[in-house]
Amino acid sequence: MSRLARTLFFIVVMLAGGYSAFSADDRPPVVVVEVEGVINPVSAEFLDKALARAAGERAEAVVVMLDTPGGLDTSMRRMVKAIIGSPVPVITFVAPSGARAASAGVFIVMASPVAAMAPGTNIGAAHPVMMDGQKLESDMAEKVVNDSAAYIRSLAEKRGRNADWAEESVRKSVSVSESVALDKKVVDLVANDLTDLLNKLDGRKVATAFGEKVLKTKGAVVERFEMGARLKALKAISDPNVAYILMMLGILGLFFELSNPGLILPGVVGGISLILAFYALQTLPVNYAGLLLILLAVVLFIAEIKVVSHGLLAVGGVVSLLLGSLLLFESPFPYMRVSLYVILPMTLTLAGFFAILIRVALKARRAPVTTGKEGLIGEPGEARTDLSPEGDVFCQGALWSAYSDEPIAKGEKVVVVGIEGLKLKVVRKAKRVNP
């Protein structure tokens, strides 16, 4: 082969390689979204933003890596609508190993054009319950269950999955592993990880809101869509433990501001904390009896400062605070309740704070009067004139008219033992007696 031929050959190879690399890099990406934890308004907004981003980039697909114990029905339905209406195919992947799609998560899996699970995961237990764990009346319970069963059956039938099992997961709370779910046609495939999933999806025909599409996911560029700072903050606030701490800080801040008007900072911090706590309370099973007990505890602590109860009101406040904290969030689900490891330190801290505050208030109450006329009793002074029996004395930075039962020479040290109108009664300092 001549030198010219070899040169042309290498140029063709390089151009072909460059074209291939360009084509690979220019392929639409696969957007990966991790939805974990309780399904709530933050989860729904996060998925909305991810699907909008994927549609704007004309992404090949969106993979929702799901791990949830369940959550709010309203947020779940919002996510289901977003998945069904997405122009980009949505693949819900229950992963990684150890993850689950329970309760509201089952509906999200059923709504997805492609449903997949990783080894060591499970799906099911979609029976509707109230967040506070209370039982519905029989008629209302039947309506709620029938509505949920019909809803999940329609989703399963739309995607060609096992509608009978889907309905049983609502009516009987059945739950299955990934292998059983695949055998029963609850999900479409089982994949070891994200790479394995993309390889198995390649060439698969899926239905979207704008028609069918053949997936080209093998070797696709993976683009992870992360939750922004605002949504991360809102998600953290929605945690029952954080909501409880914010509420306690809010109560303390407002208490400081009302006790000492003009400090400003405690009022601002307390107000912001309460507003954030109220945001979280809308997604949590609040027991208003617990909330009232916490407020009663604050009232009892304040009353202890004003009323001499020998500590009985303070003890009642501690008990009320502890009971209110335990009852604040009632739910059969641990992730919807405040941890005891948060309640006990917070209760002891608040109780200790109010105990110190009460002690200071009582000490101030029992202290001798140091202002007004009574504050002059026992104060030292100096005779500025002879007192025989009347004259002038200098006391507490002022010149007073004074008298004494015995003659006192100018310049002698005296002590105030009584007051009559604006005239002080004094004695020599060495001969101080009780008035």
Boundaries of every domain in the chain: 3-227, 239-366, 374-431
Q: Which CATH class is domain 3-227?
A: alpha beta
Amino acid at position 248, single letter: M
| Token pair of 303 as six digits | 């009353």
Give per-residue pLDDT as tens, 215-235. Answer: 999 989 999 999 888 888 888
| Token pair of 209 as six digits | 């809101």
> What is the pLDDT at residue 132?
44
> What is the pLDDT at residue 241?
86
The CA dihedral of 68, 72, 75, 81, to the nearest 10 degrees, is 80
| Measured CA distances, 36 to 19, 164, 363 (Å) | 39, 27, 53
Task: For residue 419, give the H/E element and its range.
Answer: strand 413-420
Average pLDDT over residues 147-173: 93
State the Cα angle at 426 between 424 and 428, rounded to 5°.
160
Average pLDDT over residues 104-128: 92
Give per-residue pLDDT as tens, 263-318. Answer: 788 888 888 988 888 888 777 777 788 888 888 887 887 777 677 666 677 788 88
How many whole angstroms separate alpha carbon 315 and alpha carbon 267? 27
Helix, coil or strand: residue 42: helix
* Runs of H (alpha helix) within 159-193: 163-171, 178-183
Task: For residue 13, give the H/E element and its range.
Answer: helix 3-25
| Token pair of 289 as six digits | 């009896």
Highest mean pLDDT: which range of 198-212, 248-262, 278-292: 198-212
> Ramachandran region of residue 299, left (φ > 0), alpha (ψ -120 to 50) or beta?
alpha
Label residue 21 by pLDDT band (50, 70, 90).
very low
| CATH code of the region 374-431 | 2.40.50.140
| Token pair of 13 as six digits | 């190879």
Label residue 153 by pLDDT band (50, 70, 90).
very high
CB proximity list for 314: less than 8 A, separation 6 or greater: 300, 301, 304, 351, 354, 355, 358
What single DSSP character describes residue 367?
A: S
Residues carrying an active site annotation: 103, 143
Give per-residue pLDDT as tens, 328-385. Answer: 877 666 666 778 888 888 888 877 777 777 677 667 666 565 555 666 777 888 888 8
Label residue 49 by pLDDT band (50, 70, 90).
very high
Does the pLDDT of residue 27 top 70, yes or no? Answer: yes
Average pLDDT over residues 119-147: 73
Average pLDDT over residues 412-423: 84
Does the pLDDT of residue 157 top 70, yes or no? Answer: yes
Provide the greatest CA pair distance for the chain. Answer: 139
Model pTM above 0.85: no
Does the pLDDT of residue 83 top 60, yes or no? Answer: yes
Does the pLDDT of residue 161 top 90, yes or no? Answer: yes
CB proximity list for 321: less than 8 A, separation 6 or greater: 293, 294, 297, 347, 350, 351
CB proximity list for 372: less than 8 A, separation 6 or greater: none
